[in-house]
Amino acid sequence: MNKREKSLIIQKILNSTYPKVPIPLNYKNIFTLLISVLLSAQCTDVNVNNVTKNIYPRYNHPKHFVKLGRKKIERLIKKIGIFRVKAKSIYYLSKTLIEKYNGKVPNTYEELEQLPGVGHKTASVVMSQGFGYPAFPVDTHIHRLAQRWGLTNGKSVTQTEKDLKDIFSKKNWNKLHLQIIWYGREYCKARDCYGLTCKICKSCYPNRKKKFITKKA
């Protein structure tokens, strides 16, 4: 079975499982989406949502976080991993948005990736979910699943993103990215499926007997 054949099976299962797919992170506007994605690094979306539900009703614009300052931002997000590093990024990111972009989040990869604390994956999520631009954000979880399903050789998240974009139609990227995230959480878990038990793994590799160990990005 080649990659194209696998992709058709995967899309069919994902569309059947998630005809409508929710966005995992809660936010009020594109700026708070950017902040939530930044906070989600090395942290679960559930934890981010639990923390930001008490922040965004009051603080949802770059000027709010600049006024707060780093120490107060730290206190607001202290339940999130590496909160001091993230608080620093949020403060300087907010400052940059006010000074360079009149408080608005830019809508290009180049400008987003120049903001403090914003890498390609974060920029991709904002471009996709915030601006509706076709993007295929790849984190370690999607990287793992793409390997299990035989869609990439697994050398890096950069290579995985390129491979997935080559395999799937551009019009489906935004939805597929979210579908794969939810499917991985519910059915193809890192320490549960191991490439052997979920519907996609069994469909793509009916003869697989041994656990499939993925390569880290």
Q: Per the residue annotation, which of 3, 6, 139, 163 is the catalytic one? A: 139
The pair of three-digit structure tokens given for residue 78, joined into one six-digit string: 């202290």
CA distance 43 to 129: 19
Closest CA to 146 of 217, 75, 208, 42: 217
Dihedral sign for Cα 81, 52, 89, 141, please.
positive
Under a CB-based contact definition with an 8 Å cutoff, are residues 177 and 134 in contact? no
CA distance 198 to 196: 6
The pair of three-digit structure tokens given for residue 61, joined into one six-digit string: 């614009």
> Does the active-site annotation cover 121?
yes
Residue indicated by tokens 């519907």: 199
> Does the active-site annotation cover 3?
no
Under a CB-based contact definition with an 8 Å cutoff, are residues 161 and 176 in contact? no
What does the DSSP 8-state code read for residue 126? I
Under a CB-based contact definition with an 8 Å cutoff, are residues 154 and 146 in contact? yes
Which residues, in sequence order, are CB contacts of 47 under 8 Å at separation 6+? 79, 80
Q: Per the residue annotation, which of 3, 121, 163, 175 is the catalytic one? A: 121
> Which are the catalytic amino acids?
121, 139
